[in-house]
Chain A
C-alpha cells in the first residue's frame, strides 16, 4: 500500500525528515508516535502533498506509484485521505455541497457516476450518525463555527463517506475529551478492513487504547528510531520519549 524509502523532506529549505523508512501493508494499522517537533505533521503533509513540503531525496510509493508524480488532488482521488489536526473553515460553502464536490471528484477518477441526490443524502446522514454528528451539520458551512471536537468528527464523517484506501489521521486525538475520543475511535474502527490501511499520527498513547495498532513506530528528529507492536506504546507511556531520544521529555 505505502512504501516510504529513506525519505528526506524540507519545509522552507529546512530539512525536517532525515531518512524515514516505513512500509504499510493493506489491512494494517500503524501508529507513529513522537515528541513535538519530531516531524510527525511534516510526514502527513508530505504524504498528502501540501504545497511547500518538498521531497529532497528518497521516494514514496503508493500502490507502487511514486507519489511525487501526483498532484494533491490526484492523491486524494487515488484513495489517500488526511484527517486534519486543525481543519480550516470555508464560510458559506455548505458541508453537503463540499461533500458532493469531493465525492464526485473521487468517484469520477474511479470511473463511477455521481451518486444521485437521495443516495448521497442517505449516506451522508449515516456517516453523521456514526460519529454522533447532528444532521444539521450537513447544512452548515464547512467547519464554520464548529467546536474543536465537532471539526474532528466532521473529518471522520467525511472519511467514512469517501472510504479511502489509506487513511492518515494527524493528531486526531488532540483536544478531544474522552467521550469525543471514543466516538472518533468508533468511527475509525468501523473503517478497519483487510483492504484499508490506517496511519495514526499521535503524541499520546491514549488514542491507542481505543484504536489498537498492529505496529507502533517512534519518530524522533526526522527518523524512525524504534518500531514494535502495540506494547511499545505502553512502554512509551511509562518511560516517556526521553528513554529513547536521550533527552528530557518536555511536553
Chain B
C-alpha cells in the first residue's frame, strides 16, 4: 500500500537541469543539404580538406538508412526538421579567455554545478564546456600546456594542430561507419580534442560538459582523444538539456586512440532530458563511441546513463595490439517511458588481449532497458579472454529488461565467460529495511546503489558520489 505509493513518488522526481538560458543565438534554419555543410565549415573557417571530408560523409549518409535492429521504438525522425547549427551570438568573435564569455552562459554552468572560473573550478579537473554547438571555453589550459597536454575544442585544434587532426579524425570511426556517425561527420559542430604526448601522465582529470539549449537544434559533437605511447589520461563528460516538449536529436562521435602502453579512462555521466511521464519530449541520443588499443594499451569506458528519451550507444574497444585491455562498466537507469539500448563491442585482434564487461541495467516505470553486446575473437587473437556480467534490476512490474549478448569466437584458445542475472527490488527487501527504521526512499536508493557498486567504484572519485546522487534523483518517481 504505502510502499508502492512512496516508490511511485520516488520515481517521479522532477528533472533538475531542465531550465533554459536566454542568450541570443544564431541558429540555421532547419534542413540539411550541401549548402548547410558549406556554411558550417566556412563559419568555422575550416581548411578545404575538412570541407571535402564533410561532404564525402554527407554523400555516404544520403545512401544510408537509420538502423532498425535496436530494441527501441520511435516515430521516424525527419532530418529536415532539425537545425544543424546554433551558436550563441556573442561567440561570433570567439572569446580569447573565459573573462570574455557571456556572463549568462557562465551562470548557466554555475547553476548546473560546473564553475568555469578556474579559481572556483573543481580542484584538479580541467573543463571544456560545449553550449549548443560550440565550445565556450576550456579551463586550466595553461597548466596543461606546461605538461605538454593539449586540451581544447576540436574547432581550435583544426587550426592549431591540423596535422594531428588530419591523422586521427575518422581513424577509429570512419565517416561511413553507421548512419548517425556519417551524419555527425558531415555536420559536427564542436567537441573536445585531447592529445597526451609520449610518456606523459595527464596531471589532472579532463572533463567536457555538454549542454543543449536552443529548441529544435541537433547537437553533433565530436571528441577525439589521442594518448601517445606510454601516456595516461582520465576524461569525464557530462550532459544536460532543458525540458522541451519536442524531441531533440543528439548524435555524437567519440574516438579514442591509445598507442603502445597508453591508458585512457573515459567516463560519462549522461543526464540529457528524458522526456515527461507520458514520453513527450526528451533527447534522442544516438552516439558512436569507439577506441583503438594498440600493443599493451588499456582503454576503459565507464558510463552512468540516466537521461535521454532514447539511448542508442555502444562504447567499444578494438583490441588491436597484443596484450591490450578493454573494459566497459555501465549503469543504465530508465524510468517513465525511457528506452535504452546500450552495451559494448569488444573486438579482440591481438594476442592475449583481455576484456571485461560489467553492465547494470535498472528499469522502472514503463521503460525498456536493453543490454546489447558483442565479443568477437579474431582467428589470430591467441589466448584472448573476456568476462561479461550483465545484471538487470526491475523496479515495479511494468518495465522491461532485455539482454542480447553476441559472441563470435574464431580462435579455440579463447576463454569466454558470461554471467547474467535479473532481479527485482523485492517487497521482502523493502520490508527488512523498513523494519530496521529505514524509510522506503532511502531503502530503494541503498538497494540500487548496492546493485551498481561494481561500476561506481570505476568512476573518478569526485564523480562516484555525484553518480550515486544522480541515481537517487533519477529514481525519485520512477516506479509505478
Contact = CB atoms under 8 A, between A and B. Distances in A.
Contact of B437 (A50, A73, A92, A93): A73
A158 B453 contact: no
A128 interface: no
Contacts of A162: 436-437
Given A90-B450, A93-B446, A105 B432 contact: no
Nearest to A94: B450
Interface in B437-480: 437-440, 442, 446-447, 449-454
B435 A91 contact: no
B442 to A, nearest CB: 6
Given A88-B426, A88-B432, A92-B452, A106 B2 contact: no
B427 interface: yes
B429 interface: yes
B1 interface: yes
Given A101-B442, A105-B439, A90 B447 contact: yes
Contact of A72 (B426, B431, B449): B431
Interface stretch (A27-35, A76-84, A195-203): A76-84
Given A51-B2, A88-B426, A88-B432, A77 B450 contact: no
A71 B450 CA distance: 25
Given A71-B2, A109-B437, A141-B450, A90 B432 contact: yes
A52 to B, nearest CB: 8
B21 interface: no
B436 A51 contact: no
Given A51-B427, A87-B432, A92 B450 contact: yes
Contacts of A141: 450
B429 A73 contact: no
Contact of B434 (A72, A84, A92): A72
A106 to B, nearest CB: 4
Given A91-B450, A92-B453, A105-B439, A76 B434 contact: yes
A163 interface: no
A101 B429 contact: no
Interface in A85-120: 87-88, 90-94, 97-98, 101-102, 105-106, 109
B90 interface: no
Contacts of A20: none
Nearest to A77: B437
Contact of A98 (B2, B431, B436, B454): B436
Interface in B414-428: 423, 426-428
B446 A98 contact: yes
A102 B436 contact: yes
A73 B447 contact: no
A238 B432 CA distance: 36
Contacts of B451: 91-92
B462 to A, nearest CB: 20
A143 to B, nearest CB: 9
Contacts of B434: 49, 71-73, 76
A48 interface: yes
A162 B453 CA distance: 26
A102 B437 contact: yes
Contacts of A51: 1-3, 427, 431
A29 B233 CA distance: 63
Q: Which of A72, A77, A81, A88 has the most CB of B within 10 A?
A: A72
A73 B3 CA distance: 11
Most buried by A among B2, B423, B438, B453: B438
Given A77-B437, A102-B437, A92 B442 contact: no
Contact of A88 (B3, B428, B442): B428
B315 to A, nearest CB: 23
Contacts of B439: 73, 105
B177 to A, nearest CB: 36
A94 B450 CA distance: 8
A120 to B, nearest CB: 15
A81 B436 CA distance: 7
Interface in B225-278: none
Q: Which of B434, B436, B438 has the most CB of A within 10 A?
A: B436
Contacts of A77: 437
B445 to A, nearest CB: 10
A101 B432 CA distance: 12
B435 A48 contact: yes
Nearest to B454: A92
A163 to B, nearest CB: 12
Contacts of A49: 434-435
A76 B437 contact: yes
A11 to B, nearest CB: 13
Query: Which one of A77, A98, A106 has the greatest number of beta carbons of chain B within 10 Å?
Result: A98
Interface string A26-54: 00000000000000000000001111000
Contacts of B440: 73
A93 B428 CA distance: 15
A97 B446 contact: yes
A30 to B, nearest CB: 20
A102 B440 CA distance: 12
Interface in A45-70: 48-51
Contact of B435 (A76, A94, A101): A76
Contacts of A50: 431
A146 to B, nearest CB: 13
Contacts of B453: 92
Contact of A82 (B429, B435, B438, B447): B435
A88 B429 contact: yes
B432 to A, nearest CB: 5
Interface centre among A48, A92, A97 (most CB of B within 10 A): A92
Given A81-B435, A97-B446, 15 more contacts: A49-B435, A51-B1, A72-B434, A73-B438, A76-B434, A90-B433, A90-B447, A92-B449, A93-B449, A93-B450, A98-B436, A101-B436, A101-B438, A105-B438, A162-B436
Interface of A: 48-51, 71-73, 76-77, 81-82, 84, 87-88, 90-94, 97-98, 101-102, 105-106, 109, 141-142, 158, 162
12 contacts: A51-B3, A51-B431, A72-B434, A84-B432, A90-B432, A90-B450, A91-B451, A92-B449, A92-B454, A93-B447, A101-B438, A101-B442
- 6 tightest CB-CB pairs across the interface, nearest first? A92-B450, A93-B450, A105-B437, A102-B436, A76-B437, A72-B434
